[in-house]
Amino acid sequence: MNNSEPVITAEARAWATEPFDRYEVEVSRTDIARYARSIGETDPLYYDVDTARAAGHPDVVAPPYFPYTIRMQAANLIDRGDLETDGSASQDVPPLPTNRAMAGETKIEMGVPVHAGDTIALDKSIVDLYEKSGRSGALVFVTTEFVFSNQRGELVMKEEFTRIYR
């Protein structure tokens, strides 16, 4: 790769405009309990319906950042033939002359809580694609937005995740 030539091609810019399929999942009490247990939460709001209802919730409530598990489900429920050699989903990797990727910045905005019985929709889009020069050559930044909403259309969580390619 020549350091003076742009790395982001017309093909990469076209890739960034391609829509992603919406992913939906109905959240169960078991899903919430598993997540709560995995992060060491013991609050009965996450396990006990009566406690959650007494606190004003319609059912058990998920701990903060639970929607991230939905994002991971969506990313990992694909065929092996649609994976890159590093295990990344091929649809998530831009057509660039690069061979390394690393995580960059993550910004999260929290919305309404997730409750057992909610259907959560995940909408994903590329919101930024740009290039910078680094010490080792060109770096390409791809920012993906993940918007989680419930069956009432309320924002549950929004995440902007930047991946850096070189």
Q: How many CB atoms lie within 10 A of CB 150?
A: 20
The beta strands (E) that lie in the chain are given as 23-26, 101-110, 119-134, 137-149, 155-165
* Residues facing 133 on adjacent strands: 138
Question: What is the mean pLDDT of the segment spanning 17-32?
Answer: 95
What is the reported pTM?
0.87
pLDDT score recorded for residue 4: 61
13 alpha carbon, distance to own chain's centre: 21
For the ranges 2-16, 46-60, 129-143, the lowest mean pLDDT is seen at: 2-16
* 99 and 3 Cβ atoms separated by less than 8 Å: no
What is the set of domains in the chain, with CATH numbers?
10-165 (3.10.129.10)
Question: What is the mean pLDDT of the segment spanning 55-77?
Answer: 89
Question: What is the mean pLDDT of the segment spanning 6-12?
Answer: 90
CA distance to 54, 78, 88, 89, per residue, from 165 (Å): 49, 22, 13, 15
Ramachandran sector of residue 117 (left: φ over 0; alpha: ψ -120 to 50; beta: rest): left
